[in-house]
């Protein structure tokens, strides 16, 4: 019996070998006569070695040599695998699979395989052995599993179900192949990753990890203070919130634990506050090292520095806070105590130094302190200080002229009276290139250089405000006069109170009218407009004066240098709006200083991202352009801001894929979601590559 089976198998091997290697169709017909007509399509792949002996052959079996199709015992066609065939003229209805036969030979277990075809017949389903494959090693099993394909009569490809008779058969020794239960596949622990990963890349690019670790020692901390500072700065950049919300909710909802290796249980409110205390003490040292790093990375120059002030208000009474005081509020929150922030930036907008001052500090009082501190920390170079008109005074000018310091200041509005004659004439004025709505005129008096400038949009704005208030004030005076004439107001003091409220409501129109209330007899109200003064104000609308002791500038350079102050103003807008500098909730002065410093570090990351985006020419794309219509604006691509970049990449998540094998084992694969087309475009422009995983897979 065994000899008959071996002879049968040897004959099949010989016939199939003749057909494959010698294209002997007679051998194939004989093979079909032995096994019946084939009504299936099977794939075979030619190996570099000789075709194997199916019983004990040592040569490699490789499925998928070609597509062999037969009908009624005749060979129809052989299709090579590298040719795309849209449909197959096959009339069979069934499936094809591998069947395993277990035998014990010489005291050892052996498993032989056969390619079996299953068909539907009028008598019911029938199975037919197409070919004996003999013993297959693990690599051969794997290749069979991945390559055999069955095509039905409609030309639709379906993978064959291999090892269908026994689902418990172990797959080849390949770590990438396991059997899983599809119903148990799950996705869990999804967290934000893309935006915090980008912030972490920026943090490392600026070298802040080493800088903070160098100046904020670990001491008795179980976690590196540099990692805790990184968490606070990244939070401030991506999703600003309080320290309590950060520790309770935000940190666990991001992938920072995988990036930093700091467990969620280690990030507590108290640890964040203790780290803030250490960060405040190292402020100057960190800023000094960061300045060197920025200069190296972006080739920055510090020959021109922009200095400006802003304020931010407190929530709460802040009674124990030494910095909290009432003063001039840039946020229009005079009802709250505030703190003043002085910021020094380069012409490119990168921060150099910052100063947290008491809330009632006057602008003039900060110039000497800030300039002296910057010169002491970064050296006294031939740099130009650019400041706004709030910094100007006789004492300030005297201090800046000392020791050859150079400056560019905007004068107060009263200085326009000195140049009234120049404002009235058209001689010497010129339009700026690329700024047709701005006219400038240079004037030199002694060693001081002045630039008269007037802006058409600014003039239109100032005139519109004055016109609206003048008309409203005139209407209010007529109503007041009518009330007095009708006898509704008889007391002169009451009339003066009503007049005072009108003048307070319309401050832009008040200087141009003189109102008289009769002191004796019947109360009357009369007024007169100061026409010459009003005409002088019209001539000065939209005009301002710049002063500098730096010579050699053209009118264009003079004006553009002063306009660099908009960079500092933009920095304040970013700090307050996107990084949520305001309001301040801390009740102790040291924590307030640390909070401001964290915001400044987050702004350094923001500015770095902005610089990289502009350098790469990254722009937004209009995916659904509107139909162009006459008289309507059409949206156009524009530079992509850091806010948009962080929002787009924030959609990339990290999470755990849960798999359960058929033998009950559970696998957890921690994976990062693949970016979509827009996210890929952003990452490619920034020259960043998103990782696939951060940790090895685990068996639960």
Same domain flag for 412 and 465? no
- Is the pLDDT at 161 greater than 50? The verdict is no
Min mean pLDDT across 138-142, 165-169, 212-216, 267-271 is at: 165-169
146-157 tens-digit pLDDT:
444 433 334 444
Cα–Cα distance for residue pair 45/57, rounded to 1 Å: 17
- Is the pLDDT at 686 greater than 60? The verdict is yes
Q: What are phi and psi of 271, to 5 degrees?
A: -65, -40
Same domain flag for 289 and 394? yes
Q: How confident is the model over 661-666, as a mean pLDDT?
A: 85
Residue that terminates a domain, selected from 119, 153, 176: 176
586-622 tens-digit pLDDT:
989 999 999 999 999 999 999 999 999 999 999 988 8
Cα–Cα distance for residue pair 331/310, rounded to 1 Å: 9
Which pLDDT score is estimated for 405?
Answer: 87
461-483 tens-digit pLDDT:
999 999 999 999 999 999 999 99
Min mean pLDDT across 127-131, 425-429, 527-531 is at: 127-131
Q: How confident is the model over 563-581, as a mean pLDDT?
A: 93
Read off the pLDDT band of 240 (50, 70, 90): very high
Q: What are 573-579's contacts with CB under 8 Å, separation 24+?
A: 574/603, 574/606, 575/310, 575/341, 575/599, 575/600, 575/603, 576/310, 576/312, 576/331, 578/606, 578/642, 578/643, 579/236, 579/237, 579/240, 579/603, 579/606
- CB of 68 closer than 8 Å to CB of 41: yes
Indicate whether 23 belongs to any domain: yes
Count of domains forming the chain: 3
Q: How confident is the model over 234-259, as a mean pLDDT?
A: 95
Indicate whether 289 belongs to any domain: yes
- Is the pLDDT at 62 greater than 60? The verdict is no
Same domain flag for 304 and 387? yes
Same domain flag for 461 and 411? no
Which pLDDT score is estimated for 267?
Answer: 94
Residue that terminates a domain, selected from 152, 176, 200: 176
For residues 111-134, one letter each, b for 16 or more C-beta atoms within 10 angstroms of the residue's C-beta and e for the rest, the string is ebbbbbbbbeeeeeeeebebbbbb
Indicate whether 333 belongs to any domain: yes
Indicate whether 24 belongs to any domain: yes
Same domain flag for 487 and 564? no
Min mean pLDDT across 14-23, 253-262, 646-655 is at: 14-23
Q: What are phi and psi of 223, to 5 degrees?
A: -115, 150
**CB within 8 Å of 267: residues ≥ 6 apart:** 228, 231, 246, 247, 251
Phi-psi sector, 271: left (phi>0), alpha (psi -120 to 50), beta:
alpha
Q: What are phi and psi of 263, to 5 degrees?
A: -65, 150
Q: Hey, what are 206's tokens?
A: 């600026």
Same domain flag for 75 and 44? yes
Partner residues linked to 129 by β-bridges = 116
Indicate whether 239 belongs to any domain: no
Range of the domain at 27: 2-176
- Its sign, for the CA torsion 43, 48, 50, 52, is negative
Q: How confident is the model over 412-437, as a mean pLDDT?
A: 85
Same domain flag for 52 and 13? yes
- Is the pLDDT at 131 greater than 70? The verdict is yes
Cis peptide upstream of residue 656 (ω within 30 degrees of 0): no
Same domain flag for 353 and 306? yes
Same domain flag for 321 and 467? no
- CB of 61 closer than 8 Å to CB of 136: yes
> DSSP state, 389?
G
Same domain flag for 28 and 111? yes
Indicate whether 349 belongs to any domain: yes
User: Among 694, 642, 646, 687, which Cα is nearest to 669's?
Assistant: 694
Q: What are phi and psi of 566, to 5 degrees?
A: -65, -25
- CB of 542 closer than 8 Å to CB of 497: no
Which pLDDT score is estimated for 70?
Answer: 34
Residue that terminates a domain, selected from 513, 540, 567: 540
Indicate whether 231 belongs to any domain: no
Indicate whether 185 belongs to any domain: no
Which pLDDT score is estimated for 68?
Answer: 36
Global pTM? 0.73
Q: Regarding predicted confidence, which is higher, 62 or 521? A: 521
Same domain flag for 152 and 70? yes
- Is the pLDDT at 32 greater than 60? The verdict is no
Cα–Cα distance for residue pair 103/109, rounded to 1 Å: 6
Q: Hey, what are 368's tokens?
A: 């000497």
Same domain flag for 529 and 497? yes
The CATH number that applies at residue 329 is: 3.90.350.10
């Amino acid at each position: 019996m065994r000899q008959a089976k071996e002879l049968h198998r040897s004959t099949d091997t010989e016939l199939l070998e003749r057909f494959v290697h010698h294209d002997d169709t007679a051998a194939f017909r004989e093979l079909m006569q032995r096994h019946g007509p084939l009504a299936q399509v099977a794939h075979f792949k030619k190996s570099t070695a000789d075709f194997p002996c199916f019983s004990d052959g040592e040569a490699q079996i490789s499925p998928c040599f070609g597509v062999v199709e037969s009908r009624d015992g005749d060979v129809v066609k052989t299709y090579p695998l590298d040719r795309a065939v849209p449909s197959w003229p096959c009339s069979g209805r069934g499936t094809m699979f591998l069947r395993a036969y277990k035998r014990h030979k010489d005291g050892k277990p052996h498993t032989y395989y056969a390619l079996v075809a299953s068909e539907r017949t009028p008598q019911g389903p029938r199975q037919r052995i197409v070919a004996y494959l003999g013993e297959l090693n693990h690599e051969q099993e794997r290749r069979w599993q991945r390559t055999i394909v069955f095509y039905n009569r409609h030309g639709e490809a379906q993978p064959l179900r291999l090892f269908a008779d026994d689902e418990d058969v172990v797959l080849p020794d390949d770590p990438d192949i396991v059997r899983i239960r599809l119903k148990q596949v799950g996705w869990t622990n999804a967290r934000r990753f893309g935006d915090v990963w980008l912030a972490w890349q920026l943090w490392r690019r600026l070298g802040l990890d080493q800088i903070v670790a160098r100046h904020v020692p670990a001491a008795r901390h179980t976690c590196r203070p540099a990692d805790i500072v990184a968490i606070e700065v990244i939070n401030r950049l991506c999703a600003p919130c309080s320290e309590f919300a950060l520790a309770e909710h935000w940190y666990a909802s991001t992938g920072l634990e995988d990036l930093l290796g700091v467990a969620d249980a280690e990030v507590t409110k108290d640890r964040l506050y203790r780290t803030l205390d250490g960060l405040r003490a190292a402020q100057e040292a960190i800023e000094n090292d960061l300045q060197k790093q920025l200069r190296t990375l972006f080739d920055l120059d510090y020959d021109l520095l922009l200095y400006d002030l802003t304020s931010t208000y407190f929530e709460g009474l802040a009674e124990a806070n030494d910095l909290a005081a009432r003063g001039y509020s840039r946020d229009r929150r005079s009802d709250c105590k505030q703190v003043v922030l002085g910021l020094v930036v380069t012409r490119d907008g990168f921060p150099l130094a910052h100063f947290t001052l008491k809330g009632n500090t006057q602008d003039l009082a900060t110039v000497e302190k800030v300039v002296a501190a910057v010169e002491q920390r970064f050296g006294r170079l031939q740099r130009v200080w650019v400041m706004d008109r709030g910094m100007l005074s006789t004492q300030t000018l005297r201090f800046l002229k000392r020791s050859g310091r150079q400056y560019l200041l905007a004068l107060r509005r009263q200085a326009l009276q000195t140049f009234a004659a120049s404002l009235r004439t058209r001689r010497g004025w010129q339009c700026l290139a690329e700024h047709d709505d701005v006219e400038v005129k240079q004037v030199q008096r002694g060693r001081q250089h002045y630039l008269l400038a007037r802006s058409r949009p600014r003039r239109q704005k100032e005139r519109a405000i004055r016109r609206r208030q003048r008309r409203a004030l005139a209407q209010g005076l007529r109503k007041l006069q009518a009330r007095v004439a009708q006898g509704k107001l008889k007391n002169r003091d009451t009339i003066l109170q009503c007049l005072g409220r009108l003048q307070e409501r319309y401050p832009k129109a008040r200087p141009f009218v003189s109102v008289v209330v009769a002191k004796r007899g019947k109360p009357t109200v009369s007024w007169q407009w100061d026409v010459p003064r009003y005409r002088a104000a019209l001539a000065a609308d939209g005009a301002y004066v710049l002063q500098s002791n730096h010579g050699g500038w053209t009118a264009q350079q003079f004006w553009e240098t002063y306009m660099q102050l908009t960079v500092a103003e933009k920095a304040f807008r970013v700090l307050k709006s996107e990084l949520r500098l305001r309001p301040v909730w801390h009740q102790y002065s040291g924590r307030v200083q640390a909070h401001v410093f964290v915001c400044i570090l987050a702004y350094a990351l923001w500015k770095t991202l902005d610089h990289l985006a502009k350098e790469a020419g990254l722009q937004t794309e209009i995916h659904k352009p509107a139909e162009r219509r006459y008289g309507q604006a059409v949206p156009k691509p524009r530079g992509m801001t850091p806010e948009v970049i962080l929002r787009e990449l924030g959609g990339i998540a990290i999470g755990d894929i849960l798999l359960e094998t058929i033998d009950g084992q559970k696998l957890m694969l921690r994976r990062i979601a693949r970016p979509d087309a827009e996210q890929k475009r952003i990452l490619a422009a920034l020259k960043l590559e998103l990782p696939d995983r951060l940790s090895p897979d685990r068996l639960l």
